[in-house]
């Protein structure tokens, strides 16, 4: 399985492709950073990201895309740019029909280092070890993108199988009750709204 990891950012967007499967050492396909000029307008920067990510998807043909889930930071402006860059990656993958997974920084750190509180240096060291690299990926955004891809290789498959099994079970139950696919979709929306209201 090939996973494209995306560490979203407007100025520097880490991107890296990794091959592998659970229980096996992953291997590096390619990694880099997409840069956009800080002085450019937001539309131009997002368009540049979209073009570069789409080029990566066409060239490296991943089976899935893993994007860092944006979490609340103190700088709202940084969060907005990061979220927008992440959304561009998600849209590019969706346009090609690729599954997209969002992983939190803690989840990625735990998958790669064994600790959700690992620092950037520890993540970089483990990425080097896991991918058998002699030099650390630079800049740090590249190492983070590779860590996302590794996390998804090791954890995403199980998550996808659980989600698929749940979806299959839901469809079978709906068919047994005589519900149409539209009725099933409406019931899912209603359930999701109730869950959001409970939080």
Exactly one of 50, 54, 63, 68 is catalytic; name it: 68
**Domain-wise residue ranges, the chain:** 2-158, 163-198
141 tagged catalytic: yes
Question: pLDDT category, 79, cuts 50, 70, 90?
Answer: confident
Alpha-carbon distances of 146 from 39, 62, 68, 95, 125, rounded to whole Å: 28, 13, 11, 22, 12
19 tagged catalytic: no
CB atoms within 10 A of CB 32: 17
Q: Does domain 2-158 have CATH number 3.30.420.10?
A: yes
Q: What is the pLDDT of residues 17-71, one digit of tens each?
A: 999 988 889 999 999 999 999 999 999 999 999 999 999 999 999 999 999 998 7
In DSSP terms, 64 is beta-bridged to 3
In DSSP terms, 66 is beta-bridged to 5, 101
Q: Which residue reads 């880099």 in tokens?
A: 32
Least confident among 49-58, 149-158, 164-173: 164-173
Q: What is the pLDDT of residues 135-146, one digit of tens each?
A: 999 888 999 999
51 tagged catalytic: no
Contact criterion met (CB below 8 Å) for 103 and 150: no
């Amino acid at each position: 399985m090939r996973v494209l990891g995306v560490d979203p950012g407007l100025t520097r967007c880490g991107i890296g492709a990794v091959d592998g499967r659970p229980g096996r050492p992953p291997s590096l396909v390619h990694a880099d950073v997409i840069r956009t000029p800080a002085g450019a307008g937001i539309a131009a920067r997002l368009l540049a990201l979209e073009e570069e990510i789409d080029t990566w998807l066409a060239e490296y043909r991943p089976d899935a895309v893993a994007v860092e889930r944006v979490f609340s930071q103190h700088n709202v402006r940084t969060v907005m740019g990061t979220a927008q860059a992440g959304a561009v990656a998600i849209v590019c993958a969706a346009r090609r029909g690729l599954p997209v997974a969002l992983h939190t920084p803690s989840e990625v750190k735990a998958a790669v280092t064994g600790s959700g509180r690992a620092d950037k240096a520890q993540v970089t060291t483990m990425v080097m070890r896991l991918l058998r690299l002699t030099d650390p990926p630079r800049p740090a955004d590249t190492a983070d993108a590779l860590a996302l891809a590794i996390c998804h290789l090791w954890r995403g498959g199980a998550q996808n199988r659980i989600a698929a099994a749940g979806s299959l079970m839901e469809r079978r139950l709906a068919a047994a009750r005589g519900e149409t696919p539209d009725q099933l979709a409406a019931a899912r929306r209603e359930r999701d709204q109730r869950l959001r209201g409970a939080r």
